[in-house]
Amino acid sequence: MVIAIRDGSEVPIYQQIRDQIVMGISDGRLQPGEALPTVRALAAEIGINSMTVNKAYQLLKLQGYITTDRRNGAKVAGSFRDAGELTQENREMLRRLISEAKLAGISEKAFLEECSRIYQSGRTD
């Protein structure tokens, strides 16, 4: 698994790790039941403190994206909540993103086309 940390980003490193794992699950690069690197191994791979990776894994576990146990480590969860709607937190993120797009002069049509392209492809790059 390749995690790319953006140095100098305003997004905390643990959040970057969390977000990239969620995107990996969403686009199929990470499959249900697939083992994730140990906290120490991932920390060593990207050159960060293991407590940062641990914080990301704890957040992922709390949100239901991974499961953990002492014997088998962290694995992608076998199923995910199917609420059919965004959480309040995600709605707020979307509102911020829409506001930034408006301020950047992006039309609603262009914004929705980009959203659709990303949603359909499952990838953000």
39 within domain boundaries: yes
Asked if residue 40 and residue 60 are part of one domain, the reply reads yes
| Start-to-end C-alpha separation, the chain | 16
Structure tokens at 34: 């697939």
Show the domain range for 94.
Answer: 88-121
81 within domain boundaries: no
Asked if residue 67 and residue 102 are part of one domain, the reply reads no
Q: What is the pLDDT of residue 88?
A: 86
One digit per residue, the tens of pLDDT, for the chain of length 125 reads: 679 999 899 999 999 999 999 999 988 899 999 999 999 999 999 999 999 999 999 999 998 999 998 888 999 998 876 667 788 888 999 999 999 999 999 999 999 999 999 888 765 45
Provide the whole-model pTM: 0.80
Tell me how many domains the chain contains: 2
Q: What is the pLDDT of residue 83?
A: 63
Number of residues in the chain:
125
113 within domain boundaries: yes
Asked if residue 104 and residue 72 are part of one domain, the reply reads no
Asked if residue 93 and residue 61 are part of one domain, the reply reads no
61 within domain boundaries: yes
